[in-house]
Chain A
Amino acid sequence: MTLRRAIFAACIASLPLLAAGPAAAQGTIRIGMTAADIPLTHGQPDQGFEGNRFTGIPLYDALTHWDLSAADKPSTVIPGLATEWAVDEADKTRWVFRLRPGVTFHDGSPFNADAVVWNVRKVLDREAPHYDPRQVGLTATRMPALRRAEKVDELTVALFTSEPDSLLPINLTNLFMASPTQWEKLRAAAPNAEAAWNAFAANPAGTGPFRLVRFVPRERVEMVRNENYWGEKAKAERIVLLPIPEANARTAALLSGQVDWIEAPAPDAVPQLRARNMVITQNLQPHVWPWQPCFVQGSPLADVRVRRALNLAIDREGLKQLLGGFMVAPVGTVAPGHPWWGNPGFQIRTDKAEARRLLAEAGYGPNRRLALKVQISASGSGQMQPLPMNEFLQQDLKEVGIDVEFDVVDWNTLFTNWRQGCTAPSARGAHATNVSFAAMDPFFAMVRFWDSRMAPPTSNNWGFFDDPKFDAMIREARNTFDPAARDAALARLHAAGVDEALFIWIAHDVAPRAMAPRIRGFVQPQSWFVDLRLPYVQ
């Protein structure tokens, strides 16, 4: 760099030049993500489900997939790299998966039963040479029952669970299949397995509809269409992913034409985006933004009347206004019409008079205001806009005689504390925690919160909810292998959970995104994920 060039730069700074960049290469879609960094690309992405959305599903396949093709029905599990599966009638902990024939990884090596066994071992077998402890945390918690895999023949594998678990096929959408051949090749040049995985992240091979061609840490990832994809091929030639954590920077990037598509635009910027002809998409997401109560003795939320009162006191319409319309008011963890809905008796709505009555019944009133402490974060994946939303709730609840105090911690801390429970010092006496969660999988939606065995440190029953009735319902659901009967069992569980007001259900996210009008073909399903094969540039 020379002085002259710097002077040149300084001079042109003052010139009103039009900054329209060169037209993006035909068929290239540039996406601004909310993550601060590129999610891991080695097959088990981090950064929450945004990672699965952008560096999981496009680059890799799992044995089972989410159906992301339609916007108007709940997304369900469909065949992926496995074409069919069934539990062994004799041994309910053994599942048999038939694999899709003729599938190859991006490096040309074949996908087969050995590859499945290898990928299960990468996170579950400590003795395996390619075992990667860093991938365990991101994977094992998402399929808690899976133990090991066994090859039956070239295109058949058997998977074993620790106990009968009908939810396994749903869990398996999270286990992405990486190429063993590619890894072995990179391992030969690397000093150890960890280094080999780092090399694999920079040069990965999956079976997905896109393959990675360029990886610049913290700045960008470029993927091109996989011309040999086994299923319907992608329409766009190239996808570029850019991490832009700051909502305003994302909005500005879209407005100035630096990207074609942004995740989660700032709600207040939406009118401006619309005025510039950007397309705003949204759809109901299997997502819950709750306050999760602490049920231990001494917590005011141990009283079901107080929990119900809170559910009734919140003005969700006002909150929706705050979010520029980008939320759905929840009436439970899943919405009416969902297979797990189950018609609960307690109707979640706004009824401040009833809320006051319930509070009075529980012994609270003008002379004895209810003081609540809630642990919240300032940001985070799926947390929507935690600060303004919680401040709104604080004002809202003041009206019915509840004084809310917040303990603001950073997102990772809140998330870590979630596994330690409301009695741990890390909770700092909070009566509720504000961790949003994904609800497409019954384990994540209900089991881990309402099963007494899921109390910390095992899983996320943060409030130590303990009711034998619920434990029995959960056991029943996991032991029912007929999908319809299983859904009915889950529906009973959900209805009971709503009746007991086991959460303060506050919002469902609708995953707003904004895109330039030249992006066509995009479908926003009722899911955290999208099918990047569908959109293209006109």
Chain B
Amino acid sequence: MILYLLRRVLYAIPIALAVGFVCFMLVQIAPGDPINAIVPPDAPADVVEQVKKDYGLDKPLPAQFGLWLYKVVQGDLGRSLATGRPVWSDLSTAIGNTLMLAFCASTLGFLLGCILGGLAGTFRGSVLDRGAVGLAVAGVSVPHYWLGMVMVVIFSVQLNWLPAMGAGPGGSSDWAWDWDHVKHLVLPMVTLSVIPMGIVTRTVRGLVAEIMNQEFITALRGKGMTRGAIFLHVVKNAAPNALAVMGLQLGYLMGGSILVETVFSWPGTGLLLNSAIFQRDLPVLQGTILVLAMFFVALNLIVDLMQTALDPRIKRA
């Protein structure tokens, strides 16, 4: 198993490199000269020439990639065209905000999903089961940007219970876990949580039903084992897979929160990406995608490793 873990970790390196290459290519496939991703279109010609030389844009593509990678590894993601600030300075705060939102949303989705899925799996075929499955399907099928809009109309505009946008009275920089700030988190979090809720419900329902059907549970039941003990057993067996789903969901939400962040003006990577797209701020676009994808690669790796460590049944050569 140690060997497997080691191989899995090593395998993540070429993947990460290739992901970097895809992000590098984003600027190459963008219409227009890649130089437009570094200097504003109205820059003087001699500045353009100088920058071309500095960035090695006169060199062949592989060399350019090498140079770019060298800078990225050193933490230099370039400068925003719109603001002139280093990409990383804006990105680092945005990542924190998105991570917080995605973590809260996936946790909420996970909890709701476990409850719904557990009930549905235990009482398969009942009304409860149908209701839970219905909610789960609705959760994965709903366009969440639309759900967010509807929530704003109901809870912010009509009822005036919760704020419609932003990350708190002082912005995200002085975030605190008090109601004044948390109330800003509620709507985007609930909106974003419906997807993991749906997926976790389905997964847990399947897992629980499968485990409950296994012969040894039937046997245990026959021996008069208590409900509580059976429950513990089910949890122990379902946990690794459910956690894996949850981990991946966190990654999906980090990448997928762009629409929800746009609806709620949540100062995370999604909003950053959105404004980068509309200002054609390619360095910000590239840097944000790169960091999010790397995060996802790392998360995949961690989930895999944890799953292997937790679940004795998984044996990998």
Contact = CB atoms under 8 A, between A and B. Distances in A.
Direct contact of A and B (CB under 8 A): yes
B108 interface: yes
Contacts of A37: 82-83, 275
Contacts of A416: 41-42
A253 B164 contact: yes
A133 B272 CA distance: 25
B94 to A, nearest CB: 8
B74 interface: no
Contact of A249 (B93, B164, B279): B164
Interface residues of A, number: 50
A419 B83 CA distance: 21
B40 interface: yes
Nearest to B112: A10
A198 B160 contact: no
A258 B165 contact: yes
A134 interface: yes
Nearest to A202: B85
Contacts of A163: none
Contacts of A255: 156-157, 160, 164
A218 interface: yes
B278 A379 contact: yes
B111 interface: yes
Given A133-B44, A218-B267, A258-B166, A252 B189 contact: no
Contacts of A246: 262, 265
A413 B159 CA distance: 41
Interface in A338-356: none
Tell me whether chain B's interface is mostly helix, strand or loop, or mixed.
helix
A239 to B, nearest CB: 15
A40 interface: yes
B57 to A, nearest CB: 18
Interface in B149-184: 152, 156-157, 159-167, 169-173, 177, 179-180, 182-183
Contact of B186 (A13, A36, A258, A411): A13
B292 interface: no
B107 interface: yes
Interface string B13-42: 000000000000000000000000000111
A22 interface: yes
Given A133-B43, A242-B166, A412 B279 contact: yes
B52 interface: no
Contact of B172 (A10, A219, A248): A219
B104 interface: yes
A9 B161 contact: no
Contacts of A244: 165-166, 265
Given A19-B160, A22-B180, A255-B157, A9 B83 contact: no
Contacts of A16: 159, 161
A256 B42 contact: no
Contact of B111 (A7, A13, A413): A7
Interface string B250-289: 0000000000001111010001100100111000000000
Contact of A134 (B84, B111, B189, B279): B84
Interface in B114-151: none
Interface in B236-256: none
Contact of A218 (B107, B165, B272): B272
Contact of B171 (A3, A10, A216): A216
Contacts of B171: 216, 219-220, 242
A21 B186 contact: no
B42 A137 contact: yes
B73 interface: no
A213 B79 CA distance: 24
B182 A12 contact: yes
B280 A410 contact: yes
Interface in B200-226: none
Contacts of A256: 156-157, 160, 162-164
B180 A252 contact: no
A258 B44 contact: no
A484 interface: no
Interface string A13-37: 1001111011000000000000011
Nearest to B271: A218
Contacts of B186: 9, 12-13
Contacts of A9: 104, 108, 182, 185-186, 189
Nearest to B169: A21
Given A12-B186, A19-B163, A217-B89, A249 B264 contact: yes
Contacts of B111: 7, 10
A46 interface: yes
B197 to A, nearest CB: 11
Contact of B83 (A7, A12, A40, A220): A40
A219 B165 contact: no
B90 interface: yes
B107 A6 contact: yes
Nearest to A20: B160
Contacts of A5: 177
B190 interface: yes
B82 A46 contact: yes
A248 to B, nearest CB: 8
A119 to B, nearest CB: 18
Interface in B82-115: 82-85, 89-90, 93-94, 100, 103-104, 107-108, 111
Interface string A235-257: 00000001011101100110110
24 contacts: A5-B177, A6-B103, A9-B104, A12-B179, A17-B161, A17-B183, A18-B160, A19-B162, A36-B275, A36-B278, A46-B83, A137-B40, A197-B84, A198-B84, A198-B85, A216-B171, A216-B172, A218-B271, A219-B167, A244-B165, A253-B163, A255-B156, A256-B157, A416-B41
Given A13-B186, A198-B85, A411-B278, 5 more contacts: A6-B107, A10-B189, A218-B94, A249-B263, A410-B278
A-B pairs, top 10 by smallest CB distance, nearest first, are A252-B164, A219-B171, A36-B275, A249-B165, A13-B186, A6-B107, A220-B171, A416-B41, A216-B173, A249-B265
Interface of B: 40-44, 47, 82-85, 89-90, 93-94, 100, 103-104, 107-108, 111, 152, 156-157, 159-167, 169-173, 177, 179-180, 182-183, 185-186, 189-190, 262-265, 267, 271-272, 275, 278-280
